[in-house]
Each structure stands twice: as C-alpha cells, then as structure tokens.
Amino acid sequence: MSARTKELLERVHTDILVADGAMGTALYAAGYSHRTCFDELNLSAPHQIETLHRAYVKAGAQIIETNTFGSNTLRLAEHGFERQSREISRAGAILARSAAGEQRYVAGCIGPLNQVLEPIGRVTLDQAREAFSYQIAGLLEGGVDVFFIETMSSLVEIREAILAIRDQCDLPIVASMTFTEDGKTIIGDKPSEVLRALTEYGADVVGANCSVGPQAMMEVIERMARTSDIPLCAQPNAGLPRVVGGRYIYLASPQYFAESALKFIGNGVSIVGGCCGTTPEHIQAIAEAVRGKKRGSPAQISISEKEPEEQISGPRWGVPFNSFRENLGKKFQISVEIDPPRSHDPGPFIRHAQELKAAGVDLINVADSPLARARMSALAMAHLIRRDAGIDVLLHMSCRDRNAIALQSELLGAHTLGVLNILAVTGDPVAIGDYPMAHDIFELDSIRLAHMISQMNQGKDLTGRDLDEPTQFSIGVAANPTAPELEIEIDRFRRKIDAGAMFAFTQPLFEKETLDRFLDRVSGFSSIPLFVGIMPLRSSKHAEFIHNEIPDMFVPESIRMRMQKSGTEGVKAGVEIAQEFLLNIKSSCQGIYLMPPFNKFKMAVDVISVLPRDNSS
C-alpha cells in the first residue's frame, strides 16, 4: 500500500474531504444532448472535460472524480464505443489528474452497467465483472488514487464492481448506493443492510449519492451512522429537477447545500460533495462551510431491522380455485385462444368464451398483442373473461414490451385479480407489427421470465428479496417441435423446465410424426404435461400462407394438397383434418391448444365435437 493510499485512509477517519459536483448535468447544461456519450468526450472534447474539473478545483474540491461514470464496456456498447473502454477510462483519469495536480486526490468514477444481472437478466456475474475490469484497468493506468463506485441500486452489482477492483489493486474504495425518498434502495434494501453488506464486501467508505436531495439523504446517512462507525460519504442531488424552457433545472441553492453539509459531517460523514444538478458554486459553499471541521462521531443507537407495520383490518384476498391447475395431468383438457380486441369493447369475445365453455372447453388462452399488433390489455381481457364467462384463463405474458420491474408488477396485479395461469413467452419483435417505429424491450426472455415467476412462487421477488407472501402461479411455456434449429429449441425447452415450467403449449402441428419425434427427443428430461397446438385451416390460401409466410410453421404437402382440392369446402376440410389429427394424438398428450383462425370460434367447437363430453379418458 502506497504512502498516498495510507494518508487517504487515515484522513477519512478524522478529516472532512470535499468531493466535486455533477459532471453529466453540467455537460447537459453546456449544450450536450442526453443522447451524447459523455464518457467519450474524454477523447473528442478533452478541453471541455478538463475545464469542468478545473472549475471544481477552483471551488475548493479536494477529490476530483473522473468523467468515467459510464465507461464500462456494456454501457459504452450503447454508443458503439465498447472497444474503447480502457482508452476512454485512461484518458478520463489523465484529464482529472491534469486539473487536480498532486495536492488533490483523483477518484476513478464507476457507475452501474445499465443492465439486469442474472438470474433475471442476461448478463452473468462473470460478464459484469469483466465489463468493469477494462474500465478499472484504464483508470489505474491513468493514475487514480481512489475508486468511487456510485449510483448503484443492486448489492449484487456493486459487489461485482468491488471484486473487480480488488482483482487489480488495493486502492481505497468509496461505495455509494442510491436511495429513494422512502429511505430504501429501489430494490428495497435499508441503509443499515446496505452498510453491513458493503463493509463485508470490502468498501473502505460507504455512502449514498444521487436520486434525492439533502433532506431525504440525511435520514439515510443518520441510519447508516447509527449502525457502524465506518466513514461515510454523502453526495446528494440539488433537489428534484423541474423542466424550465425545455431543460431540466435543479433548484436547491448553494447556501442550502452548505447548511446540509454541516449536518452531514455531524453524522459521521467524512466525504461530502454533490451529484446531479450541483455546480462549482455548490461545492464552493460546501468547502467554505466545512473548512477546519472534523468528522463527527454520532452515538451508536441500535436500530431494529424490522420496521413497524401498520395493522390494517379488513378482508384478505384469498387464492381463487384454479380448475385448470387442479386437473393438470389428470384430465385431458381443451384450451382455445382468444386474441383481445383492437378496441375497448370486450363484449363479443366474452360471449364467445361463454359459448366455448358451454361446448366443453376448459381454458381460454389470452394472447398478449400477438404479432406485435396493439390490442386491449391481455390481463384486462383475461380478468373479464374469467369473471364474466366463468371459465379459467391462461394469460400470455410477453417480454417484448416490459422490463423486469413491469413484468413483476403485472404478475402481482394478475395474481390479485385471480389470473393464476401464465404462459411465459419472449414475444414477437415490434418490427413485424403495426408500429415498427416502437422499441423492443426484451430485457428478459421466456426462460428468465419463467424463472422469475418460479421465484415469486417461492416467496422471492426478482432480486431474491422476500415477498410478503408467495404467489401461486401455474407456469407454462411454449415449445416448437417444427423449429428449423431443433437442437437449439430442445436445449431452450430443457432450460425452461429447469427454470420452473409446469406445462407446455406447442406451436400448431399438423402431423403426428412431428410430435412423436419431439416427444422422443425430450423424454429424457421432460415429464411436464404437453398441450398440442391445433389450427383448423380455412382454405388452400390460408394453408399456403401459414406454410410460407409465418416463421417456424410447417404444413405438410399432403395437407396443403388436400386443402387445394377442397375448393369452396375449405372450412369443412380444415375441420376434418384437425379432427383426425386430434384423435390421432390424443393419447400422446395431456391436452390441446386450439387456435381458430380469424376468430372463427365455431371451427373450434366443431373440431372438439368428435370428443366425448367427458375428456378424462
């Protein structure tokens, strides 16, 4: 450990060090768009960056942070600069050192990856650490004295950043997380929990930054201070922004910040600075206010980890009876798909659901804007069908339009409404739909969504934290026995089962041989109930369209020829083909999934008319 490192570690236990203020909002105020890669400006506009650093030095900052908040490889990839992570980070450190000189400390700034980590997201822990490693290497080459890990909301992610630093050096680490106005991280971690975790991970200073202004952050710091005497860091925003003249303006004054800084240092804070919206004027006010002050040592007060909960009297939501799940694998069940309307009137579709129930259908599948075409909310439609038609529903949930937070929110809402059967699907890309200018989300895929639902059934949320109560979802997944790359499809199917799938629905099939091949390939690892997709064909034109224009769909030539010969009797021929297929495969599966084309639900009723009304055999 170098003499400079020892000096810094000693000072944070006794002195007050003033860190600088905002970089991103300062660049925004200077005219750069939010779409700009601020980190890359270290290479393309170094004078602009160094000028800002020098302004904070002049204001009295003793710690100058590098302009590298987003210079990890994953975040730079959003702008096409991922191969320059090390170069950009090194340049950021050199610019900060040039402005700071040798009398001040240069802090290597590390922000979040802007990606969701496993098991929910696609980024593995090894990939996360690697993304940080290039950034850290460049900062070390540029000569930083300390690392500031900032604006983190996930303890898992900040742990990987700390470990990535420790893989390369023993420099001091200041680890800060961002908290909401209720005094917790957005994931729900309390300040005392954060402090204990970050200390265990190896942070030398723990703190909070961003998100809120000084007042809300004060409560976070007070809770941390009462938990441990480890040095603390506070870097609040300049309040909440307002939009003035089309630009974001932060309203907290430098004088207010100076008053707040004095309160912070009385609660064990040894590093105080600013985040979004703060300027050299804010930092100057802080520096003047804390000059000559020493770090306070607040009394250690034990805080209960359990916050008192308000007791609310009233009815509790029970879990409604789920006849589909009750009969899963015990009775041959029939499901029919109903696509929500492209309007706000569900009436005709509810009547169709009632008719299908009367015909012996057990379950209504409600698709989630299939083919990326905007329709009524699938959850709203499923709830109305279940309530007004009195039949169980299977809600398709697509990852196309929702991030992990929205998916969990939608799932909790579905559970509250009694919609407990979920088909986890990745979803069709928006490029094939009505609104190609929209943006795909795909933060999760069907495998990760199935895993998340399984976690919720075990009483855990998407981060692994406890829910108040476990959910009771039945988890379904899709399978495509006609996939052109069948090995990949079978591997994904295995992973879906490992993720918690309880049953599967296939794409439409037209011949038993395809089903038999698939069942033979998955027999070694799958015992979950399988529902075989059946789509009655309406005409020769319909058969050719399905075969030639719909991805991953296959209609055998013999069936296409039969439909061609049917002439004007296409509907009748399509129903007969579907009936023959149904009777042929019934003993090989646990149910069927009927997809009547163009909302021709009578075709579904006609297809199942060949079955006895009691399908338990």
Please write the tens of the pLDDT for every residue from 506-541.
999 999 999 999 999 999 999 999 999 999 999 999
Q: Which residues contact 224 (CB under 8 A, 6 or more apart)?
A: 191, 192, 194, 195, 206, 207, 208, 232, 268
The answer to whether residue 295 scores a pLDDT higher than 60 is: yes
Q: Is residue 302 part of a domain?
A: no
Specify whether 232 is located in the same domain as 367.
Answer: no
Q: Is residue 301 part of a domain?
A: no
124's CB contacts (< 8 A; 6+ apart) are 117, 118
Q: What is the mean pLDDT of residues 204-210?
A: 95
Identify whether 298 is part of a domain.
no
103 burial via Cβ count (<10 Å: 0-12, 13-18, 19+)? exposed
pLDDT band per the 50, 70, 90 thresholds, residue 164? very high
What integer pLDDT is reported at residue 182 of this predicted model?
81
Domain assignment of residue 314, yes or no: no
Query: φ, ψ for residue 210 (rounded to 5)?
Result: 65, -170
Sign of the CA dihedral with 285 first, then 287, 288, and 294 last: positive
Q: Is residue 309 part of a domain?
A: no
Q: Answer yes or no: do 355 and 465 share one domain.
A: yes
Whole-number pLDDT of residue 247: 60
Number of domains in the chain: 2
Q: What angle, 0 to 180 degrees and rounded to 10, lies between the N-to-C axes of helices 155-166 and 191-201?
A: 20
**CB 249 within 8 Å of CB 241:** yes
CA 316-321-323 angle, to 5 degrees, is 165
Mark which of 249, 275, 290 sits at the end of a domain.
290
Q: Are residues 197 and 55 in the same domain?
A: yes
Residue 535, CA atoms < 13 Å, CB-side half-sphere = 23
Q: 79-123, pLDDT tens digit by residue? A: 999 999 999 999 999 999 999 999 999 999 999 999 888 877 789
Looking at the structure, do residues 146 and 208 belong to the same domain, yes or no? yes
User: Is the model's pLDDT at 315 over the cut of 60?
Assistant: no
DSSP assigned state of 471: -
pLDDT average, residue stretch 303-313 = 41
- pLDDT of 613 reads 73
Ranking 226-235, 248-257, 378-387 by mean pLDDT, the lowest is 248-257
Q: Let me know how long the chain is.
A: 617
Q: Cα–chain-centroid distance for residue 20?
A: 31
pLDDT bucket at 560, cuts 50 / 70 / 90 = very high
Kindly state whether residues 337 and 275 are assigned to the same domain: no
pLDDT score recorded for residue 614: 66
Q: Pairing state of beta strands 530-534 and 591-594?
A: parallel
Q: Decide if 306 is inside a domain.
A: no
Q: Which two tokens stand for residue 406?
A: 């929205």
Reported as type and span, the H/E element at residue 181 is: none
Does residue 451 share a domain with residue 533? yes
pLDDT above 70 as % of the chain: 94
Among the listed residues 164, 278, 270, 262, the one whose alpha carbon sits nearest the alpha carbon of residue 212: 278
- Paired tokens of 224: 């941390």
**537 in the same domain as 441:** yes
The residue whose two tokens read 């692994």 is: 464
Q: Do residues 429 and 282 share a domain? A: no
- Res 244: pLDDT: 56
Residue 264: what are its φ and ψ, rounded to 5°?
A: -60, -45
pLDDT band, very low/low/confident/very high, at 617 (cuts 50, 70, 90): very low
pTM over 0.75: no
SS3 464: coil
> Per the domain annotation, does 615 fall within a domain?
no
Compute the distance between CA of residue 555 and CA of residue 552 in angstroms, rounded to an integer.
10
Helix residue ranges per DSSP H, 540-590: 540-549, 557-566, 570-585
- Single out the residue of 146, 145, 111 nearest to residue 38, CA to CA: 111
Looking at the structure, tell me whether residues 388 and 473 fall in a common domain.
Answer: yes
pLDDT bucket at 319, cuts 50 / 70 / 90: very low
Encoded tokens for 321: 């009876």
Answer with the one of 290, 314, 338 that is the final residue of a domain: 290
Q: What is the dihedral of CA 610, 611, 612, 617, to 10 degrees?
A: 150
Q: What pLDDT sits at residue 316?
A: 40
Work out the mean pLDDT of the chain and round it to a whole number.
90
Q: What gap in Å lies between CA 572 and CA 570, rounded to an integer? A: 5
CATH number of 116's domain = 3.20.20.330
Query: How far is C-alpha 614 from the geometric centre of its chain's CA atoms?
Result: 43
At 463 the three-state DSSP class reads coil
Q: Is residue 299 part of a domain?
A: no
The whole domain housing 197 covers: 3-290
In terms of domains, do 216 and 70 share one? yes
Rounded Cα gap, residues 426 and 203, in angstroms: 38
State the burial class of residue 336 (Cβ atoms within 10 Å of its Cβ: 0-12, 13-18, 19+): buried
Q: What are phi and psi of 259, to 5 degrees?
A: -65, -40
- Helix ranges (H only) for 363-435 are 378-389, 404-416
In three-state secondary structure terms, 465 is coil
Alpha helices in 458-613 (DSSP H): 486-499, 512-522, 540-549, 557-566, 570-585, 601-608
For residues 334 and 256, membership in a common domain is answered with: no
Statement to judge: residues 327 and 229 lie in one domain: no
Cβ count near 416 (within 10 Å): 10
Is the separation of the CB atoms in 42 and 88 below 8 Å?
A: yes
Alpha carbons within 13 angstroms on the beta-carbon side of residue 356 total 34
CATH value at residue 530: 3.20.20.220
